[in-house]
Amino acid sequence: MFDFVWNLGSFIVALGILITAHEYGHFWVARKCGVKVERFSIGFGKAIWRKVGKDGTEYVVAMIPLGGYVKMLDERVEDVPEHLKDQAFNRKSVWQRIAIVAAGPVANFIFAIFALYIMYLIGVPSIKPVIDSVKADTPAAVVQLNDKPEEILAVDGQKVRNWEEVNLALMAEIGSPSIELTLAPLDRVQDAGNSRSFTLDTRDWKFDPDKQLPSTSLGLNAYRPAITPVIAVVSDGSAAAKAGMEKGDLIVAVDGKPYPGWNAFAKSIRGSADKAMNITVRRDGEQLQLTVTPEAAEGADGKTVGVMGIAPTAENWPENMRLQMQYGIVDAFGAALDKTWKLMDVSVRMFGKLLTGDVSVKNLSGPISIAQGAGNSAEFGLVYFLGFLALISVNLGIVNLLPLPVLDGGHLMYYLVEVVTGKPVPEKIQEIGFRFGAALLLMLMSVALFNDFARL
């Protein structure tokens, strides 16, 4: 219940911020172009707060936080008094109307830069993209590793600094016949001429973003600190908690045999749903015999697996693999610009791959997935929430620029036709376009919602 409330609250806060930024873009440019704004609303439906400003605009916060709008004076919608006609949206030049409509998505991109700027000023703890091994019979099998850990320096010539940037760059290459990785030994990255490049054959690359990261699906095994047999977490109400297992317990043996290592132990747990396991632990210098019966649960593949409700302790990350992405007042702006551009580039490419079929519509996400992402990022801290806001803001801006008549991009398409032909698109054609766009958008939203429920 707490997770639901937390995710919902984070979702409302995130969406409220992003909608406000988007609509304020329309509002600000409309005012600068001399258009009278009658209402600035965050949300739809019944108003829960309203105020009329000195400028005559009614500011509203409504009950349904799934969008917003800026209502401008417009003769196509209602009768306008003669003395106010020069303030009507439809009376403005086509270039002014283009500026007003485009201002919403542009505001989303500006907000993303701002959010990332604050994030980089605060500093983001990160981990270098170090490869521990590669899987056989995968595209990454061609990578020949040295005895020492290897760091990924670039993906198809694009420099990367952490695993997030690696996976972002790899996502942009979905559908490409090959991907080039540039690597260097971790302790010799700065040595000139020490890097090596490998070309991965990705013609048969299969990637399911719901189940794995792009790097993992290619066969790249990221370095992970060694896992110790000491229990770090015991979930309340779990099978382990009911059996008396506690945080700090050292696992000595499993079913009378020496502790086999975490991976083998986890595999045994998954295969022991509703079956008792005898666990020997050492606590305060004494050995205890505990009988734990993993609870049955549905795994990612739909099969029944055992769940014990524990997590192990891992050794600390080596200092030379840690990365603190923090910049000064000037450099943080450059880093924010660069990151925003990369997010925009990947978003546009992913929409293109949806059209070509390289990416399945099963990967579309709706409000439930966004709410979960908002809750998870907020739980990790402010810098991660800012990064999440930037990502969603960029996607919101890109989506609104799609040439669907019900979106900003559709209006811009009509205005560009007007620029070329010298006359506006007939209202009957616009109305047909709006109906088609609304139907297509509703279909996409339905698919996204279906995908959300399928992931629950």
Residue where the block lists tokens 């209502």 = 71
H helix intervals, 357-407: 367-380, 382-400
Among the options 23, 151, 165, 173, which is catalytic? 23
**First vs last C-alpha separation in the chain:** 15
Residues listed for the chain: 456
Alpha-carbon gap, residue 124 to 121, rounded angstroms: 9
> 315 an active-site residue?
no
Q: 2, 18, 64: which is closest to 370 by C-alpha?
A: 18
Alpha-carbon gap, residue 138 to 181, rounded angstroms: 14
Identify whether the C-beta of residue 274 lies closer than 8 Å to the C-beta of residue 209.
no
DSSP SS3 for 51: strand
Q: Which residues pair with 288 in a beta bridge?
A: 281
Identify whether the C-beta of residue 404 lies closer than 8 Å to the C-beta of residue 123.
no
> Which amino acid makes up residue 92?
K
Alpha-carbon gap, residue 312 to 241, rounded angstroms: 14
Identify whether the C-beta of residue 62 lies closer than 8 Å to the C-beta of residue 40.
no
Identify whether the C-beta of residue 183 lies closer than 8 Å to the C-beta of residue 151.
yes
Query: Cα dist. 219→28, 139, 140, 363 in Å?
Result: 49, 7, 5, 21
Which residues are catalytic, by number?
A: 23
